[in-house]
Structure 1
Amino acid sequence: MTLSALPAGALALALLSHATVSAMPEQPHALTLDVHVHDGTVEIRLIGHSPRAQAVSYALEVTGQSTSRHRGATTLAADTRAVLSTMRTNVGADWCVRLAAEEEGRAPYEITRGPCAAG
C-alpha cells in the first residue's frame, strides 16, 4: 500500500511520525552578574531571576588587590528579580569576577567578568 492510498487521517499521522520536532529554546540562566568599575573600585551584584520558582546555589569570587568569596543557596520566587549578593572591592589592572552556579535541572555553569575573561 502506498501513502497516497491511505485515508487522509492516516496519511497525516504517517507524515507526522517522520517529522522531527525542534527543541524549545533554552531559557536564560537564572543567575547573572551586574558589574560596574569606577575609579579603581569594582562593584558586583549577583542577580537572581527565574520564570519559575527554583533552588539555586552559587560561589562568587572576586580577585584584585585582595580576594573575596561568597557562597550561598536560596530558592528564587517565580518572575521576581532579587539581588542575592553585593560585593565591592578596590582593584588594580588585574581583577576577576567568577561565578560558579547551579540550578535545578540544568548543568552547572560559570560566568566570568573582568580582564580574566580574556585569558
Structure 2
Amino acid sequence: MRIEASTRDEPAACPGCEVSARRVHSRYERRLSDTEITGREVVIRLRVRRLFCDNNACSRRTFAEALPALAARHARRTTTLQRLQCAVALAPGGRAGARLTRHPAVRRLVFDPLTAT
C-alpha cells in the first residue's frame, strides 16, 4: 500500500539558528516504511521542502524541514515502525524475533543491527 503526502506550506525553523524560514529552495521525496495495514506493507512517499535560511549569521544556507513526529532525520522508517522493530528485536532476540515478524519492513531491522537507533 502506498500513501502519498506532502508537508504544509508553513514556516519551518532552521536547525542551525532556529529562525523561522519561508523561502522554498526546492522539494524532494522521502520514502518511509510504516507498520502494516491489514497485512499489507505500507510505504509513505513524503514530499518535503528544502528552505533557505535568511539569517546572515547562520552557517546554513539551506535546510530540509524536519518531521520528528513522523521520522528521524535520514530515516527510512517511521518512528512507529522503528519502535516496533526495536521491541521485537530486543524482547525474544535473534531468529525468534524474526519468526514473530513476517512483515518485510520489520525483518530488515532484526538482522541489521547497524541501522538500529
Q: Higher helix share goes to which structure?
A: 2
Q: Going by fraction, where is strand more abundant, 1 or 2? A: 1
Question: Do both share a fold (TM > 0.5)?
Answer: no
State the TM bucket, normalised to the shorter chain. Answer: under 0.3
TM-score relative to the length of structure 2: 0.27
